[in-house]
Amino acid sequence: MDEFQKPKTEYVKNKMKKVRYKDMDRIIHLFLLERAALKEIGVGSDSTFVSGVKRSYPRDYLMIAKELNPAEFKKFLFQIAFTEEKFRKMLKNEFPDEYPSFMKRYSREVMLMKKAIEKEKLEKKKEREDWVRFGGKP
């Protein structure tokens, strides 16, 4: 348990100074995120748990990864920017040169998603029409 006593990042050190012992679960999660950023967690139930912790504390993971593993920081930032506006703004500030290509890809994904939703609506409508045509109750 020695690794839980020595934070690897200034970010976690600063967080520890603000958290009481009774709330140390949050810090333990941050230690896990440090290990994840360093790719010290393998495949299996541990990695599944860590994925959930990353989703629960995305900003914390980004700050930790930025210190420990810039490539992982960039990868995760691009990944999470698809889901939340505040991370798109962070992406714009952190990687202004790459932001236009990200937004192009993001816009394409949104357009494809809208098309898929519209296609599903049309299929449901046709299915309902067929249902009625074959004698089902509308």
Given CA atoms 67, 72, 74, 77 in this order, what sign does their dihedral have? Answer: negative
Q: What is the pLDDT of residue 10?
A: 93
**Average pLDDT by stretches of 10, the chain with 138 residues:** 71 90 87 88 72 85 89 82 79 82 83 90 93 87
**Residue 121 confidence (pLDDT):** 94
* Residue 6 main-chain phi, psi, to 5 deg: -125, 95
44: alpha, beta or left? (left if phi > 0; alpha if psi -120 to 50): left
Question: What pLDDT is attached to residue 83?
Answer: 76
**Dist. CA 53–CA 36, nearest whole Å:** 10
Confidence (pLDDT) at 67: 92
Give the pair of three-digit tokens for residue 136: 């089902």
pLDDT of residue 122: 94
- Confidence at residue 5, expressed as pLDDT on a 0 to 100 scale: 66
0.75 exceeded by pTM: no
Q: With beta carbons less than 8 A apart as the criterion, state whether 66 and 73 touch.
A: yes
Phi-psi region of 83 (alpha: psi -120 to 50; beta: other; left: phi over 0): alpha
* Helix residue ranges, H only, the chain: 10-18, 24-37, 45-56, 58-68, 70-81, 85-94, 99-133
